[in-house]
Chains A and B, each alone.
Chain A
């Protein structure tokens, strides 16, 4: 075929393909008269074209995430890919459970978004969104990260149709459309009252079920995808707006602050589209009855403050229209602009004329406004701090206008005291000392602030004027405070005393002491039983007659007590035996609020001091701590923390970069390889409380082994034959060692001493279980026969976290949780020698003994990389990892083949201070 011939064929072919089949023959006959070759050629090409279908047609790229199909994300099996959105792929998932099978929608965020930021904020948001329980809102059920590190959200699966398509397909009339829209408004109003803005309302996010019930999807997710404050990051990843331009308000498009009225705008666009089939256009009149057009126009005004101020008001206006009543919406006319202008002129004229009278008027106006606000005010949560790092220990000034708190700064290297106005962003830094300054407390007249300074050498109470100035030391305290967490200082209402936790010497429990605010004199208020951690976190009752505090029997076994300041009685208020972080008195002094793991994760609970069952503080999400009230009891400040701790793998042969192996948005730590290297046991709080889990060596198919539900359960250790796992737990408040089959079943209690028995490990022959016990009043290594029999003390000079060497000739151990150095003694009962003096204090869980020697981790300083070392005849630095480590746990494991180590790393952590305004005491 030559080019000219092809051109001719093409012409004929082109025409034929555009003709109806019935007309082709005639055209061909006419056009190809005398040229049957041409005719045959064209006919054969028409045939070829018709059978070609979409041959060679470019298709949109399919998502590369098909690898998820059939896999498990948490408990959800990914069954089907059902669509793609701006945010990523959507799957149908099934929760397979013993009891029932539940259908869910799983949204996997696509690459390219700011994943780090999302993961970090995901937990915080999820807690808030979990409170969104409304018949017209699809529930967010769960979330996490895929094995590839992509965040995913699990939502209620809605069988339905987008609201616009639903209206059109069912040919709904105007009134029904309006009624449907009113349901949507009510759902939006509900969420707004909880302080949650949708940010991406559009028809595709509102599905109507076959019963005609509208359901809003993705509530709050947009916030995770595109938070208000996008941190400045290197510009490699551009944050893709999680909004849909056609429905986004002008302020949203400009990237300004998003409020409830942003959703009102999107609702206005949606209403217009549902009623007219088109979105509102400034250059076009809306073809609707006048009132309805005005309603739409009011909702989509460019100035947020001139729209409906709530979804309820929006709905109300529609109802008025439906009932034939006059609506509130007015046309935005020249009159409006003119009156606005006039008002401005008038105010200026008035101020000039009335001079001093104006402030009084304004004040009066403000008071009236305040009272009105109060009567109609809903409780709401307002963030006070949003800095990077941790902000905690909030304390209201007596006038309620300022909050003092401790903050770690962005890199967490220096914790200091700050003072901030509650309705502004003015922040004053009160201290700059390199020591850790925490637990600020105001003097009752507001003139001074006292705080705890914890330095390398000393721990002491300091005081300074609350506006800043000279710092003075009030009293020295016992320095080693490793087991003491939460706020540790309160000022008595009469101004005479500072309450804190202190002890006279090591080996004794902490007690609550009252320190004279003027002379620094010390008076012990409580005398707890020996050998326990002690009494901590004191708080004066509003009348100053009592002090509430936490009695810590051991880590994770705490309860609330009250002591009378006059002396004498100490009463126990709670009976939970769980982790408690901090407490405060409720307004009125009849209740105590505390942060506890009494049901799952940390949350705020309130209990009456006369007894009774504690009740969860409403609206405040999980991981809240450090509650504090303003003196009038209307505002409660608290710290909201998040921590994402994951298990990473380091390749000792350098074949791969350090890689996250076991990850969830919750706490994952304490890994250990099974003896065959195929499985990993670890501790995780992904079920809501700390339990033992098992996954394969790549972190896949995690399954929960223990089900204690609530108490701290950790430090899993495989028996040498791989059939059993030893661990520690505290089901009844008594920390002991347990053993259970690695395949599940009933745990068996091995130790029964009332004091702490923790951190087990097996002898290489499998006959003994070593553990650390505090039963003598100091940490020592003990061992118990794995079968049964009496326990034996192994160390005399201190010992914690023991492991036998692979050839069972040496026992290696640290001294105590807060002591430096790794020691060893020859088995069965040789003298002990210090083996690695440099093992950092607190790093008792960051070493492992293998055939080549001891691997251990060192962290020169916060902000520096974490170093991995091998100590044998000499010491070799193997490499570095990012850190920071999680030194409060056993967090290190060597694979049996000696090729990998696992270690725990805190990938994200921080805390912010929030204020719950209009708190209502129950």
Chain B
């Protein structure tokens, strides 16, 4: 197991532009997030919900700790974590919908256990597809939504990770919301019909 210190310095190297640091860092973060998610999903009790943002937060505390970490590193950590938690959650959602089509058995499903900020009506797979589509026309905006939605970053933190001004981040966020709102509506009516 890698020490907190090592992870902290990898984060620092990465935010200073060392791409290899990211490669070394990723597996640790991914493993930790998966472990946490599994842990939460397994010991689930009725009525107990887990928030993806809380999960990322816990992974951060676990891997990096709270002390002696520059704020920028924290934001960068959440930056990678956002991508990963999206992947983990979408995998779970896929497995779940596969399970539904299959034997119809009651599985411990993702949305039973994980409360997403969008509420119960949000279809995670639709959102994932919509975000991919958004990435094709505006990659930065898609990334911004990922950071906000999956890692719970504030607009300020998001602006820092994406190296844009706060005003731009706000503008991008509003437009992305409009675009995704319309896209999700279309997809959900397509699903129903």
Contact = CB atoms under 8 A, between A and B. Distances in A.
Interface of A: 1-3, 5-7, 10, 13-14, 17, 44-49, 51-52, 55-59, 61-62, 64, 66-67, 69, 238
Given A45-B179, A56-B145, A61-B54, A3 B138 contact: yes
Contacts of B174: 14, 17, 49
A791 B141 CA distance: 87
Contacts of B152: 58-59, 61
Contact of B51 (A49, A52, A61, A69): A61
Interface string B145-183: 100110011100000000000000001101101111110
A79 to B, nearest CB: 15
Contacts of B171: 10, 14
A42 to B, nearest CB: 9
A3 B184 CA distance: 19
Nearest to B149: A56
Contacts of A51: 181, 185
A66 B117 contact: no
Interface in B34-81: 45, 47-51, 53-54, 57, 66
A62 B53 CA distance: 10
Contact of A48 (B48, B172, B179): B179
A64 B138 CA distance: 36
A66 B175 contact: no
Contacts of A6: 137-138
Given A55-B122, A55-B177, A61 B137 contact: no
B175 A10 contact: yes
Contacts of B177: 49, 52, 55-56
A605 to B, nearest CB: 47
Interface of B: 45, 47-51, 53-54, 57, 66, 115, 117-118, 122, 136-138, 145, 148-149, 152-154, 171-172, 174-175, 177-182, 184-185
B63 to A, nearest CB: 15
Contact of A2 (B51, B66, B137, B153): B137
B54 A3 contact: no
B181 A48 contact: yes
B74 to A, nearest CB: 15
A904 B106 CA distance: 40
A248 B156 CA distance: 29
A47 B186 CA distance: 13
B117 A57 contact: yes
A59 B174 CA distance: 16
A51 B138 CA distance: 22
Contacts of A48: 178-179, 181-182, 185
Given A49-B174, A56-B118, A61 B181 contact: no
Contacts of B154: 58
Given A3-B138, A13-B178, A14-B171, A58 B45 contact: no
Given A6-B137, A62-B115, A52 B178 contact: yes
B117 A58 contact: yes
B138 A55 contact: no
Nearest to B171: A14
Contact of B47 (A7, A17, A45, A66): A66
Contacts of A49: 174, 177-178, 181
Contacts of B47: 66-67, 69
19 contacts: A1-B137, A7-B138, A10-B175, A13-B178, A14-B175, A17-B174, A45-B178, A49-B174, A49-B181, A51-B181, A52-B181, A55-B118, A58-B53, A58-B152, A61-B57, A61-B152, A62-B49, A62-B115, A66-B48
B125 to A, nearest CB: 15
Given A10-B175, A17-B174, A49-B181, A56 B117 contact: yes
Nearest to B182: A48
A69 B45 CA distance: 13
A44 B182 contact: yes
B82 to A, nearest CB: 11
Chain B facing A: main interface SS: helix
Given A6-B137, A6-B138, 17 more contacts: A2-B137, A7-B138, A44-B182, A45-B175, A47-B182, A48-B178, A48-B179, A48-B181, A51-B185, A55-B180, A55-B181, A56-B118, A56-B149, A57-B148, A61-B51, A62-B49, A69-B47
Of the listed residues B50, B51, B178, the one surrounded by the most CB atoms of chain A closer than 10 A to its CB is B178
B116 to A, nearest CB: 9
Nearest to B154: A58
A475 B13 CA distance: 76
Contact of B66 (A3, A62, A66, A238): A238
Contacts of A56: 117-118, 145, 148-149, 177, 180
B115 to A, nearest CB: 7
Nearest to B55: A61
A64 B118 CA distance: 18
Nearest to A57: B117
Contacts of A64: 48-50, 54
Contacts of A58: 53, 117, 148-149, 152-154
B189 to A, nearest CB: 13
Contacts of A59: 51, 53, 117, 152
Contacts of B117: 56-59
A110 to B, nearest CB: 13
A31 to B, nearest CB: 15
B84 to A, nearest CB: 17
Contacts of A238: 66
A13 B138 CA distance: 15
A1 B130 CA distance: 13
Contacts of A5: 137
A57 B153 CA distance: 10
Nearest to B186: A48
List of 5 A-B pairs having minimum Cβ-Cβ separation, nearest first: A48-B182, A52-B181, A49-B178, A48-B181, A58-B152
A52 B179 CA distance: 10
A44 B185 CA distance: 12
A447 to B, nearest CB: 55
A47 B117 CA distance: 21
B57 to A, nearest CB: 7
Contacts of A66: 47-49
Contacts of A52: 177-178, 180-181
B54 A13 contact: no
Nearest to B48: A67
B70 to A, nearest CB: 19
B61 to A, nearest CB: 9
B48 A46 contact: no
Contacts of A45: 175, 178-179, 182
B177 to A, nearest CB: 5
A2 B138 CA distance: 9
A55 B185 CA distance: 11
Of the listed residues B54, B154, B174, B185, the one surrounded by the most CB atoms of chain A closer than 10 A to its CB is B174
Contacts of A47: 182
A896 to B, nearest CB: 27
Contacts of A13: 175, 178
Nearest to B147: A58
A778 B53 CA distance: 67
Contacts of A14: 171, 174-175
Contacts of A46: 178
Contacts of B172: 10
A64 B39 CA distance: 15
A58 B51 CA distance: 10
A10 B175 CA distance: 6
Contacts of B45: 67
A56 B128 CA distance: 12
A419 to B, nearest CB: 43
A596 B55 CA distance: 51
A61 B178 contact: no
Contacts of A1: 137
A14 B184 CA distance: 20
B148 to A, nearest CB: 6
Nearest to A63: B54
B137 A62 contact: no
